[in-house]
Chain A
Amino acid sequence: MSVPMLDFVPIWTAILGVGVFLYVLLDGFDLGVGILYGFTVNRVWRNLIMNSIAPIWDGNETWLVLGGVGLFAAFPLAFAIIMPAVYFPLLGMLLALAMHRTLVARGLTRPRGAIERNDQGPAALTGPRPRSVELKILNPRVGRDFPLPARATAGSAGLDLRACLERPLDLPPGAAELIPTGVAIHLADPGLAALIVPRSGLGHRHGIVLGNLVGLIDSDYQGELLISCWNRGSKLFRIEPGERIAQLVVVPVVPVVFEVVESFAESPRGGGGFGHTGRG
């Protein structure tokens, strides 16, 4: 043969070295994240931690398979000698990996406790840290058949409220109905209030707004959140069970007391009011 024989030993040594190195580097990241997970109590952060490895852990682990099968393929005699020699360390590693993966799988399914938080992942890092507000589930369908009030995107201000209905409800033009949400919240902090406002798409396209235009939830209100749905449009609208019908925005409140005075310090606007700045 005129083709010079390649020496496969250094090539395969390099391939195996790269495989094992990438495994240590990449799955080391997974495993480190797993350790951090154990030290984190905040559920929002736990979910974030889990989500940070969720899309990639399988790829990271594949390098270990490459290392093992590569040794088997390129250096079978070494494989046959080394593997039985490290029988118990290898056993420990495989069993630990199995346990680790199972816990990752658990983190990914977001069991009941985890779904009850309306966290949406990465925004929790950059945005303000979510504040904890007590929520009571009054109808067991919430959290089972449809999710808890949640933000549609990470940057949303409002949490979508869903119609907790047993069957679809037809709302004829002009009619208003009080629709239960199946949940109650207790803000507790007098510095907070919650506003129930219409969803833009429903209001604009279908004329579904609120009977009281804006609902105000005081910080000491503990009853069920009820939504007055008003069809101000010209067509019948069917509300499906679990449909998002309004949104809840929690806003800060500045408590004020009035101080009675004889006159105000003069402002440039003065008493100019309705229509003062032009048509409007």
Chain B
Amino acid sequence: MILDPLLLSRLQFAWVVAFHILLPAFTIGLASYIALLEALNFATGRDVYFRLSTFWTRIFAISFGMGVVSGIVMPFQFGTNWSRFSDATSNVLSPLLAYEGLTAFFLEAAFLGVLLFGRRLVPRWAHLVAALMVAAGTLFSAFWILSANSWMQTPVGYEVIDGRFFPQDWLKIIFNPSFPYRLMHTVVAFYITTGFVVVGVAAFYLRRGRFVEEARSMLSVTLWLLTIAVPLQIFLGDRHGLNSLQYQPAKVAAIEARWDSVGAAPLTLFAVPDEAKESNRYAVDIPYLGSLILTHDVHGNVRGLKEWAPEERPPVAITFFAFRVMVGIGLLMLALVIVSWWMRAGRRLYDSVWFLRCCQAATPLGFIAVLAGWTTTEVGRQPWTVYGIMRTADSVSPSLTGQDVLISLIGYAIVYLIIFPFGLVLMGRLVRIGPLGIGLQPEPVESGRPDLPVRALPSAEPELLP
């Protein structure tokens, strides 16, 4: 078998980006959660928020570090494996990435040190500001990177000169048609992912009777937030789908495994798409529902894959199944949130063993949904890197041999299979140690009082009485 540098480069990109996306999926939500805890502590002065913030900040430090390091790999992928793509698109894409670096990375990096280590060195309000800045930095990062990704999906505001893209209208490029929907859908997905991790950890503590006060706060606050976020996400997903139908109909046709263009399309719950025969096997259809969901009209016309030449269609089976995994998890999450209302009404939120068990089991759901959603949108975009204009096959570095890419892919595979489980173990260890046993003093009085060797004024605090 001849090693294909294109296929291997795609596998390598999929591998490094799949691991990378798990971390923003967690840190973007966690940064906001920490900022919320800091704000609650600042406003109410309750110790429990302080302890929770300290606890999650430790976990954030690890996941953020892993996010940074797996993120550094990404822009270099563009150069090493996708040099023709980089050359053609850099005038449009690289400023977006540069803005990410300037607005997000430096902001995060500057305030991260204060957030992690400045608790006793800066006043409380400054620590709160640091938490807010780190949270803002993560959101700016998502803004720019999703803007770049969305432009690749729905390119506008450019002209092509000699095979290179040149920007014409920056506002159109940044706020390209799919961007608002993708940004909201992704950020809410990340919030939900973090939310289920927090709920899972809280359930873990409650079932063991440890850190009960902290765990109750985590469970209660987060389930309220999820009560808003999960239904909102389903709504946003629907809007995003309508947007894709308008701009990337072939992707939607692959998502639905719809081969023929029809009015009143059914919804295919399950099938095994057969790309060679251009049909589905073992299909389970619900009449009219496909058109209703996609066009909000039972007789709405849905375009089928046969409208496109076979070499212009995305891989159908992967897109179809990944989408169903994502939606299935979304519905599971909705079910858990609805059960939580019922539990709360019956005052059993903290005691029901089976409910807490479900919460614990739900911990990884968000990550799986994020991966499935990302797979849907990225595989569904194929065979294009810049949708409809530049093919993936024309993007790869011309100088690469299959052997080169195989070696680097194996390198990334080995290293990521070491560092990611390792990071997970470290975070698991912090969770087992819990909010109190971290070696920090839980008393909030430590903050707001500079821990300096020399005190300028004799202190009247009783702690310092001889």
Contacts and interface: CB of A to CB of B under 8 A. Distances in A.
B246 interface: no
Nearest to B113: A55
A143 B94 contact: no
B210 A145 contact: yes
Contacts of A111: 426, 429
A221 interface: no
Interface residues of A, number: 62
A65 B83 contact: no
Q: How large is the interface on B (under 10, 10 to 19, 20 to 34, 35 or more residues)?
A: 35 or more
B411 A91 contact: yes
Interface string A58-97: 1101101110111111001101111111011011001101
Interface stretch (A36-44, A101-109, A253-261): A101-109
A56 interface: yes
Interface stretch (A148-156, A168-176, A210-218, A266-274): A148-156
Given A55-B117, A72-B94, A80-B86, A65 B75 contact: yes
A279 interface: no
Nearest to B399: A84
Given A62-B106, A80-B83, A109 B70 contact: no
Interface stretch (A2-10, A181-189, A200-208, A222-230): A200-208
A18 interface: no
Given A95-B411, A109-B426, A145 B437 contact: yes
Given A101-B69, A105-B65, A76 B422 contact: no
B419 A58 contact: no
Nearest to B104: A62
B76 A83 contact: yes
Interface string B67-80: 01111110110111
Contacts of B453: 154-155
B168 interface: no
B91 interface: yes
Most central of A71, A72, A88, A204 by chain B CB within 10 Å: A72
B68 A58 contact: yes
Contacts of B71: 65
B404 A72 contact: no
Interface in B444-466: 451, 453, 462-466
Contact of B79 (A58, A65, A79, A153): A79
Interface string B141-172: 00000000000000000000000000000000
Contact of A105 (B113, B114, B426): B426
A102 to B, nearest CB: 4
Most central of B66, B79, B108, B436 by chain A CB within 10 Å: B79
A204 B436 contact: no
A200 B436 contact: no
A56 B457 CA distance: 31
Nearest to B462: A201
A85 B399 contact: yes
Given A87-B404, A97-B69, A200-B462, A106 B86 contact: no
A223 B61 CA distance: 39
A146 B436 CA distance: 6
Contacts of A105: 61-62, 65-66, 423, 426
Nearest to B71: A65
A143 B66 CA distance: 26
A80 B105 contact: no
B462 A84 contact: no
Contacts of B68: 58, 61, 101
Interface string A101-124: 110111011111001000000000
A106 B421 CA distance: 12
Contacts of B95: 73
A109 B114 CA distance: 17
B58 A90 contact: no
Interface string B401-436: 000100110011001101100110010011011101
B101 A69 contact: yes
Interface string B32-73: 000000000000000000000000001001101110111111
15 contacts: A55-B114, A58-B109, A65-B72, A76-B87, A79-B87, A79-B90, A80-B79, A84-B83, A84-B397, A97-B69, A97-B72, A105-B66, A105-B426, A144-B433, A200-B464
Interface of A: 51, 54-59, 61-62, 64-66, 68-73, 76-77, 79-85, 87-88, 90-91, 94-95, 97-99, 101-102, 104-106, 108-112, 115, 143-147, 150, 152-155, 200-201, 204-205, 242
Given A83-B397, A102-B65, A106-B426, 12 more contacts: A54-B116, A55-B113, A58-B64, A61-B68, A61-B69, A76-B87, A83-B80, A87-B80, A95-B411, A102-B418, A143-B437, A145-B437
